[in-house]
C-alpha cells in the first residue's frame, strides 16, 4: 500500500519521527505518455506528463506540505502560515486540518483561481485577501513569523523543497533512468530547484546515469528571471505563477546552469494553446500555469532543439479543476434548446 512520500522515500529525506507524520498519501502520481500530442506536433521524442494534479489537494504542493507540517508538529507548533497564489494555501489548509492545527493564509485579492480559494475556505483556514500581489503577501508573512509562534510553510521552509524533490525520484523510478530534458513552470522557483536536487541526488547515489537539462518557463508578463530584474506588477492568465520576485531566484539559476538548461518565458496565448491541446489530445486537464511547461516544450520543438528519440518529461503542476473560469472562457459555450429530440439533433448536426 502507498503510504505517502515521507514513508516511501524515508532513507533519502531528512529524518522525521513516524509519530509526527501528517500525510494525505500524496505522491505516486502518474507519468503519462503523451503519444497524441507528439504525433500532432510531428516530433520524434518520448514525451511524458508528470501529472501532479492528481495529488490529494490537486497540486504538487502536497509533497512539500506533508513534510513542512509534520516538522511543524515535531517542533511543537500549533499553527502554520503562508502567502500564496492559491495552491500553497489550499495544501496548507488541508494538511493543517489533518494535523488538527491552525492555518493562516494571505492571498492577493481577486487573483486566486476559484477552486483554490474554496479549498482554503472549506478546510477552515483563516484567509486574508490583500489589495496587492503575491510578492507583497510574502513580505508580510515573513514579518509575521518574526513575532508569532507559527511556522512559515512557503518554499523558503527547507522541508518544502525536500518533499518536492521526490517527484524527480518517482520519474527516475518509473523510467529506469533520468530523462534527457525536464520541462517545468517557474513561479517562485522552488519546484525547479527541488527537482534539480532530486535528480542530482539520484545520480550521486548511482540510481541513474545522468541528470536532465532543466527547462523552466515563466509567463511572459511575469518573467523576472528571464528579464533579469524583479517585475513590479506581474500579469498573466496563469495566476499561479503571477510572481515578480521569486524567493528561489538564485537556486533556479543554479539549476539552469548546472544542468545546461534554460529559463525562458512563454506568452499567455502559448500557455492557453498548450492547455487546450493537453485537454483535447491527451484527456489531461491541468491548470494554465501547468501548461507553461508544455508551452515551453512546444517552443523548443519549433526551435528544433531535439534530434529525435530523446526522453522528455513535462511536469503538470496542478489540476485543471482548480480554475474552472479559465476553462469556460477558453471553450465553446454550450447551446441551450427546448427539451425536444429534434432541437438537440439540430444543434449536434446529426
What is the binding site for ligand AN7 (CB under 6 A)?
59, 84-88, 155, 185-191, 240-241, 287, 289-290, 317-318
Handedness of CA 43, 164, 54, 223 (dihedral sign): negative
Task: Enter the C-alpha cell of residue 27.
Answer: 505522491
Burial class (CB within 10 angstroms; exposed 0-12, middle 13-18, buried 19+) of 281: middle
Shortest separation between residue 212's beta carbon and ligand AN7, angstroms = 17
- Residue 181 burial (CB count, 10 A): 23
Nearer to ligand AN7, 43 or 89 (CB): 89
Cα Rg of the chain, angstroms: 20
Q: Which of 234, 158, 218, 155 is nearest to 183 (CA)?
A: 218
Nearer to ligand AN7, 4 or 58 (CB): 58
Cα 138 to Cα 163: distance, rounded to the nearest angstrom: 21
Nearer to ligand AN7, 43 or 293 (CB): 293
The residues, ordered by sequence, that sit 6+ positions from 112 with a Cβ below 8 Å of its Cβ are: 84, 85, 86, 89, 239
Nearer to ligand AN7, 43 or 164 (CB): 164
Shortest separation between residue 41's beta carbon and ligand AN7, angstroms = 22
Shortest separation between residue 51's beta carbon and ligand AN7, angstroms = 12
Q: Which of 218, 271, 294 is nearest to 249 (CA)?
A: 218
Shortest separation between residue 302's beta carbon and ligand AN7, angstroms = 23
Nearer to ligand AN7, 207 or 330 (CB): 330
Shortest separation between residue 178's beta carbon and ligand AN7, angstroms = 20
Shortest separation between residue 196's beta carbon and ligand AN7, angstroms = 12
Nearer to ligand AN7, 43 or 66 (CB): 66
Cα 348 to Cα 55: distance, rounded to the nearest angstrom: 36
Let me know: does 80 contact 150? Beta carbons within 8 Å: yes
Nearer to ligand AN7, 59 or 211 (CB): 59
Strand locations in 240-339 (E): 262-266, 311-316
Shortest separation between residue 215's beta carbon and ligand AN7, angstroms = 13
Amino acid at each position: 500500500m502507498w503510504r505517502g512520500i515521507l514513508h516511501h522515500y524515508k532513507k533519502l529525506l531528512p529524518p522525521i519521527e513516524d509519530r509526527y507524520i501528517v500525510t494525505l498519501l500524496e505522491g505516486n502520481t502518474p507519468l503519462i505518455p503523451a503519444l497524441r500530442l507528439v504525433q500532432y506536433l510531428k516530433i520524434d521524442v518520448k514525451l511524458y506528463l508528470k501529472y501532479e494534479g492528481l495529488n490529494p489537494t490537486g497540486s504538487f504542493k502536497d509533497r512539500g506540505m506533508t513534510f513542512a507540517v509534520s516538522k511543524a508538529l515535531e517542533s511543537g507548533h500549533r499553527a502554520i502560515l503562508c502567502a500564496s497564489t492559491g495552491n500553497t494555501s489550499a495544501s496548507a489548509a488541508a494538511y493543517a486540518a489533518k494535523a488538527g492545527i491552525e492555518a493562516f493564509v494571505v492571498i492577493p485579492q481577486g487573483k486566486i483561481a476559484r477552486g483554490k480559494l474554496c479549498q482554503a475556505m472549506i478546510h477552515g483556514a483563516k484567509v486574508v485577501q490583500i489589495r496587492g500581489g503575491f510578492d507583497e503577501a510574502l513580505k508580510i508573512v515573513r514579518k509575521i513569523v518574526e513575532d508569532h509562534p507559527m511556522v512559515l510553510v512557503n518554499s523558503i521552509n527547507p522541508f518544502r523543497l525536500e518533499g518536492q524533490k521526490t517527484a524527480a525520484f518517482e520519474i527516475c523510478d518509473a523510467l529506469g533512468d533520468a530523462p534527457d530534458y525536464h520541462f517545468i513552470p517557474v513561479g517562485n522557483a522552488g519546484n525547479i530547484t527541488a527537482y534539480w536536487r532530486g535528480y542530482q541526488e539520484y545520480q550521486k547515489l548511482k540510481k541513474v546515469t545522468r541528470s536532465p537539462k532543466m527547462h523552466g518557463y515563466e509567463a511572459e508578463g511575469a518573467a523576472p528571471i528571464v528579464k533579469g530584474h524583479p517585475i513590479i506588477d506581474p500579469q498573466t492568465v496563469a495566476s499561479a505563477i503571477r510572481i515578480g520576485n521569486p524567493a528561489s531566484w538564485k537556486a533556479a539559476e543554479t539549476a539552469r546552469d548546472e544542468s545546461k538548461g534554460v529559463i525562458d518565458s512563454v506568452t499567455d496565448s502559448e500557455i492557453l494553446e498548450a492547455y487546450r491541446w493537453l485537454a483535447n489530445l491527451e484527456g489531461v486537464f491541468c491548470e494554465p500555469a501547468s501548461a507553461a511547461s508544455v508551452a515551453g516544450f512546444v517552443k523548443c520543438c519549433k526551435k528544433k532543439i531535439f534530434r529525435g528519440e530523446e526522453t522528455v518529461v513535462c511536469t503538470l503542476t496542478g489540476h485543471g479543476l482548480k480554475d474552472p473560469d479559465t476553462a469556460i472562457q477558453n471553450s465553446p459555450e454550450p447551446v441551450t434548446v427546448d427539451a425536444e429530440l429534434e432541437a438537440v439533433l439540430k444543434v449536434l448536426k446529426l
